[in-house]
Structure 1
Amino acid sequence: MTHAFCLPTTINAETFLRDYWQKKPLLIRQGLPQIIGMFEPQDIIELAQDPDATARLIRTDMVQNQAQWQLKTSPLSAQDFSNLPEKWSVLVQNLEQWSPELGKLWQAFAFIPQWQRDDIMVSFAPKGGSVGKHYDEYDVFLVQGYGERRWQLGKWCDPSTEFKANQPIRIFDDMGELIFDEVLQPGDVLYVPSRLSHYGVAESDCLTFSFGLRYPNAADLLENLCKTIEHHSEQINSSEFAIPFRLSPQPQPNGQLNSASVADFKQHLLDLLANSNQFDALLQQAVAQTVSARRYELLPTEAEYYPDELLEMLQAGDRLSQDANCKIIYTDNGNIFINGEWIDELSEVEQALLADFANGKSVDWQHLQQFADHISLDLLLDSLCDWLDNGWLLVESADDV
């Protein structure tokens, strides 16, 4: 099953990325009607109590006419949902691991590379419920799945924006001049750029699904770069990286390392990195491992597949596709990275097939037979079973295709 891009008919992917992405919000009425009816509020309340779920319960108590926010993180229990105030919200992360059907809706946003995907979060709130006025460091498509929610958008924020003191969540009072004030109905979608202040209030019992997208930060990249360099230490020890720097001598006390020397080291290092093909290769691997990593632990799969069984399923019309709970990316040189790991020792056919999955292709038996001249189908079926067992792929029933 495939889905058209979640964009208005008057805006294509190129226009959105040029004019809207991280620049201004976009309301898409009935942009994702497929989400309607997937979940009821009680489904999310029960899921939030699952011991493997990552959930937050936010309640707003009124104390002397002042809102006092309280936060409780998972594990949550039924007791946590008793004696709640009038206004509260429960949020559950990583919904695609619990609902492959929901995860498939990522295809509607495939005009943005999957390495930018974070996760799908759901927020349930009764009438009046909210998580306050805030901003996020990630871009998000807010999809109304049940009920109605009013959204207001205001000023642009940055790391210097001040939040209310002594509160368990990052909220503020001043959103500046409002630039958007609309109620979303089921199936409606609102794109909110990162750092744009927003405030959502439930007009009725409602479910809002947040398809979040984010870029890595410097700390993540440096951490993976250090790991990559350590992994390739033998090659590095015999390369340009092992040659001592030649610095200009400077008068300074015998025991001092002055700031000028440190600045000299920095410049030499930057010059080396800017002109090193070896560093480019190391950085590519570090970036790929960083952006393909999942923020949440992958739950083990219960199903176990065998080649003969899989062959029968494929010949009966079933298809294989990427599990949206997993991140598969490939680089210009064909290397495959899955969930933060470089998958080496793959054949060219296996690399090409995983790239097809990463690009959203649904693979059937006819497609697999095209590789018969290049690889044993028995070996390919073995690999496909391993990928299914690892949680990288899903089987799409012929009845659903």
Structure 2
Amino acid sequence: MSIDQPLALLGGLSPSQFMQRHWHKKPLLVRQAIAGFAPPVLRTELLALAGQEGVESRLIQLQDGGGWTLRHGPFARRSLPTLQTPRWTVLVQGVDLHHEAVHALMQQFRFVPEARLDDLMISYATDGGGVGPHFDSYDVFLLQAHGRRRWRIGRQKNLRLQEDVPLRILAEFEPEEEYVLEPGDMLYLPPGWAHDGIAEGECMTYSIGFRSPERDEMARELLLRLTDEEECDLNQHPVVYRDPQQEAVTHPGAIPAGLLDFARQALQRALNQPLALERALGEYLSEPKANVWFEPGPEGQMLENLRLDKRTRMLYDDKHIFINGESYRASGRDATLMRRLADARRLSAKELARASDEALELLASWCDAGWAHSEA
């Protein structure tokens, strides 16, 4: 993808222009971002997905009295309201993990780093359906796939939420702009922009969302991975806290200053391990979601044209290749090849012919695990 070429998807802006002018800054409405868009997932298929184990789905319904209800799937079709019942919505997360055409659609948004790209959620709603006025902490592209949806958006200052509601709905929504989106239209919203989408008749919206790791959560994950970095040397005694100079105390509940220093040194030592933080971050960012699993590939398959499985997350830095939560040191020609695979998500037979025996063996193991597939 050329980042300097104007795209209809971005209203004639190039990816570079979009990132400079709109990303994290201001909304963008694009009429016919995908002209003549035909949704690859129809209602019946989406509702069937919502009934599967391992697929994250929710049912949100606005009651006649104004109250909201929230249920989590999987949903048997008979447990859902009738199509004639107004004001209900089914949200299905990660449809790109289950549908090749939806996965291909997401690839159009890879002008944003893969480490930030999260998933594609599809919402199906009957007339009047929605999830209430709310704001997200991440960027989102809202692509209208079927029917019409009216969006009201605004830079919300009052972030107080309604009480005793199972959803994060704003107590006092103050919209500034209003748009009706039809199939192929798309609305980009930066983090923090409040929005409320109401279905006008039956409608379906695709939401392309991005990962925004929360600082404390990331710190916990990285610290856990850093502690796993330490290799156990059976010939070396573990370093334990010692305090031969500790005096008798009259305040036994107080934590000794020496113990605090020991803890600080332990964390600093983990951070000082060569490339430890880089490995921990790459493994964390490439870790698939908990509900993702892979079907093992056929044993002994010949490597021809190779493509990554739609559920595989593959990243890299200057020293490593990361795939599905695992890390590998890489350099030279093999590193170039692996980076090409991470960027393009496929390798041709000609490209594979330049791989070393060790790289081919590694790629074959990924195919055996179902992380990649060989195609004629």
TM-score (norm 2): 0.83
Counterpart residue type for residue 10 of structure 1: L
Alpha-carbon displacement from aligned partner over 1:300-322 (angstroms, at most 9, x marks no partner): 326526434x5xxx4xxxx4333
Q: Distance in 2 between matches of 1:62 and 1:77?
A: 24
Query: Following TM superposition, by how much is the alpha carbon of 1:11 offset from its aligned partner in structure 2, in angstroms?
Result: 4.0
1:387 match: 366
SS state at 1:62 partner: coil
2:99 matched to 1:99?
yes
Q: Distance in 2 between matches of 1:224 and 1:34?
A: 44
2:295 matched to 1:301?
yes
Q: How does 1:111-122 map to 2 (within 5 A)?
A: 111-122=111-122
Q: How does 1:1-400 map to 2 (within 5 A)?
A: 6-13=9-16, 15-33=17-35, 36-63=38-65, 67-82=66-81, 85-156=85-156, 161-176=159-174, 178-217=175-214, 218-234=216-232, 254-255=251-252, 257=254, 269=264, 273=268, 278-279=272-273, 281-301=275-295, 303-304=297-298, 306-308=300-302, 310=303, 314=304, 319-333=305-319, 335-343=320-328, 351-360=335-344, 362-371=346-355, 374-375=356-357, 380=360, 383-394=362-373
Counterpart residue type for residue 185 of structure 2: D
Contact 2:307 2:373 survives alignment (8 Å): yes
SS state at 1:205 partner: strand
- Alpha carbons of structure 1 residues 82 and 169: separation in structure 2 relative to 1, 3 Å: same
Contact 1:139 1:212 survives alignment (8 Å): yes
Contact 1:28 1:188 survives alignment (8 Å): yes
Q: Distance in 2 between matches of 1:46 and 1:18?
A: 40
Counterpart residue type for residue 339 of structure 2: A
Q: Distance in 2 between matches of 1:215 and 1:12?
A: 20
Counterpart residue type for residue 287 of structure 1: L
Q: Distance in 1 between matches of 2:340 and 2:184?
A: 29
TM-score (norm 1): 0.78
Question: How large is the RMSD of aligned CA atoms in angstroms?
Answer: 3.8
Query: Following TM superposition, by how much is the alpha carbon of 1:36 offset from its aligned partner in structure 2, in angstroms?
Result: 2.1
- Alpha carbons of structure 1 residues 139 and 155: separation in structure 2 relative to 1, 3 Å: same
Kindly indicate whether structure 1 or structure 2 has the higher relative contact order, using CA contacts under 8 Å at least 6 residues apart: 1
Q: Distance in 2 between matches of 1:97 and 1:2?
A: 26
Q: Which sections of structure 2, spanning at least 5 residues, go unmatched?
A: none
Q: Distance in 1 between matches of 2:13 and 2:82?
A: 48
Counterpart residue type for residue 224 of structure 1: L
Counterpart residue type for residue 220 of structure 1: M
Q: Distance in 2 between matches of 1:93 and 1:390?
A: 24
- Alpha carbons of structure 1 residues 116 and 351: separation in structure 2 relative to 1, 3 Å: same
Aligned residues: 368
Contact 1:107 1:360 survives alignment (8 Å): no
SS state at 1:300 partner: coil
Contact 1:142 1:210 survives alignment (8 Å): yes
Contact 2:54 2:291 survives alignment (8 Å): no
Contact 1:157 1:197 survives alignment (8 Å): no
SS state at 1:359 partner: helix
Query: Following TM superposition, by how much is the alpha carbon of 1:121 offset from its aligned partner in structure 2, in angstroms?
Result: 0.8
Q: Which sections of structure 1, spanning at least 5 residues, go unmatched?
A: none
Say which structure is richer in helix: 1
Contact 1:337 1:343 survives alignment (8 Å): yes
Q: Distance in 1 between matches of 2:293 and 2:81?
A: 29
Q: Distance in 2 between matches of 1:350 and 1:145?
A: 41
Contact 1:136 1:196 survives alignment (8 Å): yes
Contact 1:221 1:287 survives alignment (8 Å): no
Contact 2:270 2:276 survives alignment (8 Å): no
Counterpart residue type for residue 357 of structure 1: L
Alpha-carbon displacement from aligned partner over 1:210-230 (angstroms, at most 9, x marks no partner): 111022222233233223223
Q: Distance in 2 between matches of 1:96 and 1:305?
A: 26
- Alpha carbons of structure 1 residues 357 and 212: separation in structure 2 relative to 1, 3 Å: same
- Alpha carbons of structure 1 residues 30 and 305: separation in structure 2 relative to 1, 3 Å: farther
Q: Distance in 1 between matches of 2:294 and 2:327?
A: 20
Query: Following TM superposition, by how much is the alpha carbon of 1:129 offset from its aligned partner in structure 2, in angstroms?
Result: 0.8
